[in-house]
Amino acid sequence: MRFILEHSLAPRLAAALNALSEGEGNEVIHLRTFVAETDATDVTWINELVVQGQTESVVVTADPSLLKNPAERAAWRTSGVTMFFLKGFAALPRWEQAARLVKWFPAIQASAKRARKESRA
């Protein structure tokens, strides 16, 4: 399964999680792989993931504002992309972000697998 860390999370976190996930059949990459512009709107990058065939990917974001904007929320819901929202995460110092994300990532992976199975049933 492919996990994509959105621009609100550092590319280095994606690289670290990818290294730690080796051998588990998962890949962790940063959104910059698909959308280089860090100031791209949520609608823009969500649509770009669809265009590039990444609707099976799981996006992890520390930007819950996407849930508040009707256009952004609609773009996400119609895209088919599974997302995990890390609320209250973006303001944490980078080492705290890294520690928490490493701690929670196995649970995120397990939840993503369950979500995929349920969506196919």
Helix/strand/coil for 81: coil
Q: Return d(Cα 35, Cα 99) in angstroms, integer.
A: 26
* Structural class in CATH, domain 2-120: alpha beta
pLDDT more than 90, % of the chain: 71
Q: How far is CA 82 from CA 78, 99, 101, in A?
A: 11, 23, 17
- pTM to 2 decimals? 0.91
| pLDDT recorded at residue 117 | 66
Q: With bands split at pLDDT 50, 70 and 90, how would you rate the model's confidence at 92? A: very high
Check pLDDT > 90 for residue 28. yes
Total Cβ atoms within 10 A of residue 73: 14
Helices of type H across 1-121: 11-20, 42-51, 70-79, 94-120
Check pLDDT > 90 for residue 119. no
Question: Which of 1, 83, 101 has its CA nearest to residue 42?
Answer: 83
| pLDDT recorded at residue 114 | 87
